[in-house]
Structure 1
């Protein structure tokens, strides 16, 4: 039985991915800032651990407690929607601390054991905004684009040790709590001068032509983990696949 460690499992993609691998008999280490009972079925092959990917001590404790890790899925992330002009730099740094530096820190922590065993997979979950930039998400897009470049470089670097690095690029999922897991309200980031521009965009969010299901992301992670080729990117969801084809 292989072991997978997934970050950001309290809801959304991470939670569904944990369920997906549990149902297929994997040992699953589901991590989240504040563990909650009842969100995952009780199972001998499941452990739920507290983890803050922005805290080096928290990362070290989880890596020590986890033991050998065959697959790391860097899914934890926070969103921000708003005009860049109105987005405080303190909040932009917060987004990068989780979405970019948190991914890098988790990856750096797990590489040594994978390198010693000469096996392992690292899956970084980014976003379809890396395929086609969207307005009112400049800071979020930048944080995810950074991980795209990071993972591409890492894939070459780690192939020497038979470690695979992959990207999963989810589209827009209305069921996720994007931009609701931060302390900054969306309405505070849309000044009156942007209202006419932002209105149609939010209307489009409310009635998207294509969307992504959480199960689409779990299946894409499953495909990425099992892929033995040089394929780097795995779009997840009908909208992400359409954007990838267009790109």
Structure 2
């Protein structure tokens, strides 16, 4: 039985991805900041562990407790929406600590065992914000764009040791808890001078449109883990697939 460690499993993409791997017979190490045994069905091949990707001590403890890991899915993330000039630097650093440095730290913690076995797969969950400009999401885009570039380079390094490295790129998902962990209301980051600019953007968010479902992301992660080709990017959701066709260079 193969083992996958998934970060950010308390809700959203991570939770659905954990369910998907369980249903397909994998041993799942579902991690979250505050473990909640009620979010996933009881299963012999499930283990829920506490993990804060911004803490090196927490990462080390979780990886040690997990044992051999065949697949690492870096899903944990937080968001921030608002005018860049009004976004406190402390919030921007918090976003990077989770979305960027947290992913890098997880990779550093797991790569040694994969390198020794000369096998394994790393999947970093990014976003369609890396494909085109997204106003009012500059800091969030920057944190995910950094992981896009990081993953491209890491993939070449890891291939030498037989480790596959992939990216899953979810589209717009209004049901995700995008800014919950940042404890900030997007409306608080819209100065009066930006009101006319921001209003149509927020209105667009509220319209019915092609959106990414949690199951889309779970299936894309599953496909990425199973893939043995050189494919690096796996768009998730109809809108993400459409964006990918016109990816900004």
User: TM-score normalised to the size of structure 2?
Assistant: 0.98
Greater CA deviation, 193-202 or 99-108?
Answer: 193-202
Q: How does 1:61-210 map to 2 (within 5 A)?
A: 61-210=61-210
2: CA distance, partners of 1:184 / 1:172: 19
CA shift digits 1:49-68 (9 cap, x unpaired)? 00000000000000110000
Superposed CA RMSD? 0.7
Q: Secondary structure at the match of 2:80?
A: coil
CA shift digits 1:169-224 (9 cap, x unpaired)? 00011111111221222121111111111111011101142110000000000000
2: CA distance, partners of 1:204 / 1:180: 20
Give the corresponding residue for 1:7.
7
Consecutive unaligned residues in structure 2, runs of 5 or more: none
2: CA distance, partners of 1:133 / 1:231: 24
Q: Secondary structure at the match of 1:166?
A: strand
Q: Secondary structure at the match of 1:181?
A: helix
Q: How many pairs does the alignment contain?
A: 247
CA shift digits 1:26-60 (9 cap, x unpaired)? 00000000011311000000000000000000000
2: CA distance, partners of 1:92 / 1:110: 26
1: CA distance, partners of 2:38 / 2:209: 33
Consecutive unaligned residues in structure 1, runs of 5 or more: none
1: CA distance, partners of 2:129 / 2:17: 21
CA drift of 1:234 comes to: 0.3
1: CA distance, partners of 2:121 / 2:208: 33
2: CA distance, partners of 1:147 / 1:95: 12
1: CA distance, partners of 2:149 / 2:158: 14
Q: Secondary structure at the match of 2:38?
A: coil
Give the corresponding residue for 2:46.
46
2: CA distance, partners of 1:34 / 1:4: 19
Greater CA deviation, 57-66 or 185-194?
Answer: 185-194
1: CA distance, partners of 2:204 / 2:180: 18
4+ residue stretches of structure 1 with deviation over 4 A?
Answer: none
